Amino acid sequence: MNKLDNDSVPAPMPLFQFVKESIRTMILNGTYTPHQKLPSERQMIEAYDVSRITIRQALSDLQREGLIFKINGKGTFVTKPKTQFDVSKLRGFGENAASIGQESFSKLISISSSESVELIAGKLNLSKGQPVTKIERLRFINREPIAFDITYTGSHIGERISPTELKNRDIFDILENDCSILISSADVNVEAITCDENMAHHLNLKKYAPVLHIERTILAEDKSPILYENLFYRGDSFKFGLSIERTHF
């Protein structure tokens, strides 16, 4: 038999990589559950028979990947997996949740009518002072609060939306099926912000915790604006995904 070339012999896995992959496997297969505290560095040193530097390098990589987080003085914990919505398609919250097999429902915080201020009027193509309906909802996935929505629409539309329907149905569904208003597209802006005290209370977060803010204007078939939305998603529980294609000019 011919002797193997050195290039054909697999290089041994670095020790920190071995430890990292071992811990990663236990996180992904559920051995370590979300928010569970991992063994201490000393326990890992003994279990894997490696140095402290090796353990810290493995944990540092896992933290950069978002699989674990550290709390000073308390230890290292498993990160809770984030819910991911595909934002390459225009969907309501419930439609997005259903598309990934998640249970969702909404809690209506308030629904009210008032004269529109300049910003809201401009977004909805109304005259300043024209009446608008404001809807505030807390959105849940698997019975945990994950988003806080503030939606504005002209009162001529808002008065056709039943508060009792807002718990288990998307506004998109209500508009298209009950009001015969077809939705065609949206103008969207996304930014990272910190939450105020009211939002923190509803989302069960600390004040100034990070949230994803989505500003969205929903357009009908004739491109007229019918909804203006400010959606706030928990930064520790949520992420967006999309597939995009490169355009060659």
In this structure, the answer to whether residues 108 and 205 fall within a common structural domain is: yes
- Do 171 and 55 belong together in one domain? no
Please identify, among 46, 78, 110, the residue that sits at the C-terminal boundary of a domain. 78
Claim to verify: residue 207 and residue 123 sit in the same structural domain:
yes
In the chain, which ranges are E strands?
68-71, 75-78, 83-86, 104-115, 131-141, 144-154, 183-194, 210-220, 225-234, 238-241
Residues 69 and 94 in one domain: no
How far CA 246 is from CA of 136, 243, 249, in Å, comes to 38, 10, 10
In a shared domain, residues 49 and 116 = no
- Residue 3's pLDDT is 45
Q: Which domain holds residue 42?
A: 6-78
Query: Of 56, 78, 100, which marks where a domain is finished?
Result: 78
Which burial class, exposed, middle or buried, applies to 209 when counting CB atoms under 10 A from its CB (0-12, 13-18, 19+)?
middle
Residues 205 and 143 in one domain: yes
* CATH number of the domain residue 221 falls in: 3.40.1410.10
Q: Are residues 26 and 57 in the same domain?
A: yes
Q: Are residues 160 and 130 in the same domain?
A: yes
Residue 247 lies in a domain: no
Partnered with residue 144 across adjacent β-strands are 141
Beta bridge partners of 225: 219
Strands 83-86 and 238-241: parallel
Does residue 178 lie in a domain region?
yes
pLDDT in single tens digits along all 249 residues of the chain = 344 455 554 557 789 999 999 999 998 888 999 889 999 999 999 999 999 999 999 999 998 887 888 888 899 999 877 788 887 889 999 998 888 888 889 999 999 999 999 999 999 999 999 999 999 999 998 788 999 999 999 999 999 999 999 988 999 999 999 999 999 999 999 999 999 999 999 999 999 999 999 999 999 999 999 999 999 999 888 888 877 888 887
**Do 141 and 231 share a domain, yes or no?**
yes
Alpha carbon of residue 56 to chain centroid: 29
Do 226 and 107 share a domain, yes or no?
yes
Q: Which of 52, 78, 104 is the last residue of a domain?
A: 78
Q: For the domain that residue 27 is a member of, what is the CATH number?
A: 1.10.10.10
> What count of other Cβ atoms lies within 10 Å of the Cβ of residue 152?
24
Query: Which contiguous run of DSSP H or E holds residue 121?
Result: helix 118-123
Report if residue 114 sits inside a domain.
yes
My answer on whether 74 and 151 are in the same domain is no
Domain membership flag for residue 1: no
Q: Model's pTM, two decimal places?
A: 0.72
In a domain, 246, yes or no: no
- The CA distance from 199 to 193, in Å, is 12
Number of domains in the chain: 2
Is residue 97 in some structural domain? Answer: yes
Judge if 73 and 89 occupy the same domain: no
